[in-house]
Amino acid sequence: MTETRSVAVEREIPHPPEKIWRALTQPHLIEEWLMKNDFNPVVGHQFNLRGDWGGVLDCEVLAIEPNKALSYTWNFAHDDAAYNLKSVVTFTLTPTSSGTLLRMEQSGFRPDQKQAFGGAQAGWQKFFANLEQVLARTD
Amino acid sequence: MTETRSVAVEREIPHPPEKIWRALTQPHLIEEWLMKNDFNPVVGHQFNLRGDWGGVLDCEVLAIEPNKALSYTWNFAHDDAAYNLKSVVTFTLTPTSSGTLLRMEQSGFRPDQKQAFGGAQAGWQKFFANLEQVLARTD
């Protein structure tokens, strides 16, 4: 058994869960804050997240609870073990008096994957900032 | 023989070639406008460019002419041929009366790699915008 680490980001967002859910599950909105994709909100659906620089992640939808929770794999295949990532991203949405508490946890970083772990910490800050901008300018 | 396409971006930048060369070849500066990396300006040096989301590119320095030209491979290994990219990035710097004409060409996109090609077109616009910001705030 290998111990793994998680990156978690949690933010209070002044929009209802239904609106955030759309941004998390509609491909054209996902593209705006995360990456190009062929996401489909169906358990077992396999999809890719594609970076503008030619890289691609292999993903599969694991769990969906509309407006409440979404989970998918976030895998990156590479010959070098330090870069070969098998992780799971889980979003949970909790309604609050003023909007939604959105939590993201990415689990599965092995202790020898410090660079990927540090990258994810920085990356999710950017992705969340992008997401809040998308939410601010959409209905 | 397979026909391939290139993405090219060319900009007049109000900084001398020597300054732009540093931003293209010093790892801590490359990280600011492109990606995390272990670049070293030595022909044959193999390095990685690493995205914040866990992805990584495999690169090798092909040619260096200080303050004038830099070329390296920009490869991405993937089982799906549409994503398996073998490309070469070449920067050329030409002094002008007010600064430098910087040209980047990324060659090697096969006709079936429309997504990677489109991504690179968008990506290099962003990378160049980042680069100009880095140049504006450094000596």
Q: What is the pLDDT of residues B108-138, one digit of tens each?
A: 999 999 889 999 999 999 999 999 999 999 8
pLDDT of residue A117: 93
Q: What is the mean pLDDT of residues B13-26?
A: 98
User: Does pLDDT of B1 surpass 80?
Assistant: no
Band the pLDDT of B76: cuts 50, 70, 90: very high
Residue whose structure tokens are 């990280």: B31
Q: Look at B119 and A74 and tell me if their CB atoms are within 8 Å.
A: no
Q: Which residues contact B117 (CB under 8 A, 6 or more apart)?
A: B5, B7, B109
Cα dihedral B77, B83, B87, B93 sign: negative
pLDDT at B82 over 90: no
Mean pLDDT of B20-39: 97
Q: Kindly indicate the confidence band of residue B52, based on its pLDDT and cuts at 50, 70 and 90.
A: confident
Nearest by CB to residue A55, choosing from B57, B122, B126, is: B57
Closest in A52, A120, A122 to B119, CB measured = A52
Interatomic CA distance for residues A76 and B55, integer angstroms? 6
**What's residue B53's pLDDT?**
87
* Angle, CA A35 vertex, CA A49 and CA A60 arms, to 5°: 30
Q: Is the pTM of this model over 0.80?
A: yes
Parallel, antiparallel, or unpaired for β A100-109 and B5-13? unpaired
Q: A70 in helix, strand or coil?
A: strand
Tokens read off for B108: 């090697």
Q: Give the CB-side neighbour count of residue A47, counting CA atoms within 13 A.
A: 22
pLDDT at B2 over 80: no
List the strands of the sheet with B99-109, edge to edge: B5-13, B99-109, B85-96, B69-76, B56-65, B46-50, B36-37
pLDDT at position A105 is: 98
Instruction: Search chain A and give the residue with CA nearest B78.
Output: A77
ipTM: 0.83
For chain A, which residues score pLDDT lower than 70?
Answer: 1-2
- Report the alpha-carbon distance of residue B3 to residue A134 in Å, rounded: 39
Select from A54, A57, A122 the Cβ nearest to the Cβ of B119: A54
Q: Which residues of B touch A74 (CB under 8 A)?
A: 53-54
